Amino acid sequence: MTRVPGSDRYKREAHAVSIRKATPQDADAILTCLAAAFEPYREQYTPAAYMDTVLTHHSLLQRFSTMCLLVATAAGQLVGTVGCQAVGKGEGHLRGMAVLPDWQAKGVALRLLQAAETELRRNHCRRVTLDTTEPLQRAIRFYSKHGFSSSGRVTDFFGMRLYEYVKLL
């Protein structure tokens, strides 16, 4: 059955999700979520880019020290995650958005995005950036639909092109 945004089932599923700040006790579930969400793209990533995307316990713990990590939970299960941080005067950055495959297209990513933007606004950010890779066309469409546009900046990400997107908050 296809879930249509705006339908009653879509709204029920989205409302069944809670967003909260992650704790180090969420580490295993966050790593599982990242791995599951990015597995379909593994072959399109360089090995180093893939490892930097799905993280290790060590790199995730480092991220806890520099970013606010948010998680989406439903029925006691972690179903999504995103990180955000203020990176300069008035600017924030998003990193590591992932939703378990069974929970994609149910409003989880939007709830995570909204929570991250709220957190960044609390930190006086008026602009937010994120970086994404070419294989993630579905994510690019999602971000574009929710106000992000290409800045035109392209950098190297372990041998892959990394595209910057920006949104005014």
Nearest Cα residue to 79 out of 30, 146, 7 = 30
| pLDDT at residue 1, as a whole number | 42
Work out the average pLDDT over 26-41: 98
Nearest Cα residue to 92 out of 57, 64, 130 = 130
Q: What are phi and psi of 118, to 5 degrees?
A: -60, -45
| pLDDT at residue 6, as a whole number | 55
pTM of the model: 0.90
Question: Domain locations in the chain?
Answer: 8-168
CATH architecture entry for 8-168: 3-Layer(aba) Sandwich (3.40)
The answer to which of 1-5, 34-38, 46-50, 73-77 has the lowest mean pLDDT is 1-5
Q: What are phi and psi of 70, to 5 degrees?
A: -115, 150
| pLDDT at residue 15, as a whole number | 62
